[in-house]
Amino acid sequence: MGISPRPGLWVLEKSADYGLTYTPWQYFSDSAGDCLTYFGKDSNEPISRDDSYFYSIKDISIGGRCMCNGHADTCDNRDPNDPTILLCRCQHNTCGPKCDRCCPGYEQKAWRQSKSYSPFSCEPCNCFLHSRECVYDAETDRQRLSLDIHGKYEGGGVCQNCQHNTEGINCNRCKATFYRPYEKHWNETDVCQR
């Protein structure tokens, strides 16, 4: 066994049926905030009832997990720079070694941790199929100027490099000298004509 840093988060579990089932007995973390984030509000309550006075450890198993901010179930991607390091297999349209940012094109809303009581998934920007690139802008979000894929002005996604003679926050305006015929919808490639 090699030298490993002290784990930042772990749970001591107990079994009253000789190892058939286990329940959390004690939670450990570097901070109270981490305890709440990863184990829930019950983790900060003191032990109120304990039927046993002496404990012995029969078997101990230690496992590790990646810190994926609630956006991964497994850590099985190998780091290309160091194959001994496992990285998060990100979900919810998140990217990065710790799923700590929204993937390109999914930046309609500001990234945040996903929690059991407050799930979060990065959403694609609504560029009406005229761009696959966007960035999140907090001021656009604050002013409620960006239209999301659900038709609501929520989030701060600003489309980049609009195509098909379109421009604007959502690629929903025709460039100068172009116009939108009445019967054309914004998601049509020939929406802006001369």
pLDDT higher than 50, residue 65: yes
CB atoms within 10 A of CB 97: 16
Which band of pLDDT confidence, cut at 50, 70 and 90, is reported for residue 1?
Answer: very low
pTM of this structure: 0.65
Domains of the chain: 1-63 (no CATH), 125-194 (2.10.25.10)
DSSP tag of 1: -
The answer to whether 87 and 72 have CB atoms below 8 angstroms apart is no
pLDDT above 90 covers a percentage of the chain that reads: 53
